[in-house]
Amino acid sequence: MPRSLIAVFSLVLVFFLSAHSSAQTPKPKLSPTPPPEPKADDQVKVFTEEVRLPINATDAYGHYDPTLEIGDILVLEDGVPQQIRSVRHIPANVLFVLDTGGDSNGLGGLSKKTSTTRDIAYRVISRLRVGDRIALLESSNQPELLQPWTDDVSKVAAVLKWKLFATRRSRIFETMTKAAQLLSDQPEGSRHVILITDGVESPGGKVAVDDAIKQLVAARATVHIISYTEFVRQASDKQPLLLTTGLHPRSSDPIVANDPTLAPTESRSPTFGVGIRFDPAMRRVRKAYEAETRKSEKWLTDLATETGGRIFLPTSTEEMIAKGENVARDIGAEYVVTYRPTRPLAEAKPGEYRKVEVASRRVGLYLRSRRGYVVPK
């Protein structure tokens, strides 16, 4: 074969192999467009679709159960079973509502006592867990924030000692609405309100009791109540009669009064008497106050039950302070159950209320929780 033909053949073969190699080499792919970052609205929607439900678990003797698991709990929302995602303890945010007003009722020792309210708060904060956050709100002539949120117990104790004073009026309903606002920026599921009050609003308030209750329920907090209502009624029942004693005047004995043989200051047989003095005005004020405490005790009880808390009705100062330990234990033992509602929250109407029922799947286990919740906006 001529050399020129061999050279041409070799060039054709090299060209063919180069083309084949290029066909076998995969072309580099362009980088795909990165997915868009989730918008803030999308993140909020995902977060708010999770319901956090506070639950207390006890045995038949009232002892707290430290072993609660997902399989122990049945949650119904509007009658529909929900799929529970987690059960855990989380740090608590505890807002004290301290009622120090109302001395204008004129009952003195028969009304609530600021010193007792202070001692109850001391007892609670000394038994909360490390990491729990506390705020103090006073119901006096107007709602007053004494201490913003903090986990410094010593700071809270100092505020209770130096800034808590008795006042003539109580704006308890306005203070409850203020409490709902203060809770709004705290994590749901760990919101607690400790209400120490007789529930009696001084005349002239601008907020109705129904509106105050509605706003506090919508805050989705567990409300614990230590009530003065039984305490003040017990004190009223034990109030002694006002007695007067001394010599009867001469004019009360006609024989002695007309005896000319006796000096004006003398008496044959000095007689002593006991008198009972009534104050009709004070009695009316006291009865009106007792009637108000009976009304307030009813709505306070309903508020505690609706939110999954408890109301305590002590009858003595010592018992009232001791109940602070019960409240602290309730807070420390509370679980938070999370679930994503079968019916999405995004489909709820503004202000929609959803009924919640909690039942135990384990024999001997008793569960307590709130009756429902208002879907957040």
pLDDT of residue 100: 94
How buried is 179 (Cβ within 10 angstroms: 0-12 exposed, 13-18 middle, 19+ buried)? Answer: buried
Is it the case that residue 225 has pLDDT exceeding 80? yes
pLDDT of residue 284: 82
Amino acid identity for residue 217 in this structure = V
Sign of CA dihedral 295, 111, 303, 44: positive
pTM: 0.78
Q: Show me where the domains of the chain are located.
A: 47-86+344-377, 90-237+293-333
> CA 316 to CA 322: how far, in whole Å?
10
User: 90-237+293-333 sits in which CATH class?
Assistant: alpha beta
Over range 175-192, report the average pLDDT: 94
SS3 content of the chain, % helix, strand, coil (to 5): 40, 25, 35
- Token reading at 345: 């929250």
Lowest mean pLDDT segment, chosen from 74-78, 175-179, 264-268, 285-289: 264-268
Residue 350 confidence class, pLDDT cut points 50, 70, 90: confident
> CA 349 to CA 344: how far, in whole Å?
11
- Token reading at 9: 């053949």
Degrees to nearest 5, angle at CA 74 with 72 and 80: 165
Q: What is the pLDDT of residues 80-119, one digit of tens each?
A: 999 999 999 999 999 999 999 875 455 555 678 999 999 9
